[in-house]
């Protein structure tokens, strides 16, 4: 019997999640985002906690609130709107008005 190909959270992400030079800093972990703030999902591959699915890499969204140490982010991909629970290190501030 042939083994089944794994289709996990990080499948087909070889170039998308390439390691960047340097490591995550403490300041990046402690970043705060206010509800209604516009952000961009920027996945840091060296931090596995709170990592969203690869399809959301580079998407823009709006912070809806906090859930523990993570943020609830409303993101629109195609015709569907999703709410992600993402650790703050995988988000980066984006200038502009809220969606």
CATH of the domain at 76: 2.30.30.70
Q: Could you tell me the residue range of the domain that residue 64 belongs to?
A: 28-93
Are the C-beta atoms of residues 60 and 94 closer than 8 Å to each other?
yes
Q: Which residues contact 51 (CB under 8 A, 6 or more apart)?
A: 9, 43, 44, 86, 87, 90
Structural domain total, the chain: 1
20 found inside a domain: no
2 found inside a domain: no
77 found inside a domain: yes
pLDDT in tens, 33-43: 999 999 999 98
19 found inside a domain: no
pLDDT for the residue numbered 18: 77
Note the pTM of the prediction, 2 decimals.
Answer: 0.81
Closest by Cα among 75, 80, 60, 66 to 31: 66
pLDDT band at 99 (very low <50, low <70, confident <90, very high): low
pLDDT for the residue numbered 96: 59
13 found inside a domain: no
7 found inside a domain: no
């Amino acid at each position: 019997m042939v083994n089944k190909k794994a289709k996990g959270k990080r499948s087909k992400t070889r170039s998308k999640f390439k390691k960047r030079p340097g490591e995550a800093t403490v300041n990046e972990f402690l970043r705060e985002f206010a509800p209604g703030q516009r952000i961009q999902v920027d996945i840091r591959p060296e931090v596995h906690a709170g990592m969203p699915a690869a399809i959301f890499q580079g998407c823009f969204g709006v912070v809806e609130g906090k859930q523990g140490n993570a943020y609830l982010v409303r993101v629109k991909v195609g015709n569907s709107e999703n709410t992600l629970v993402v650790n703050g290190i995988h988000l980066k501030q984006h200038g502009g008005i809220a969606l």
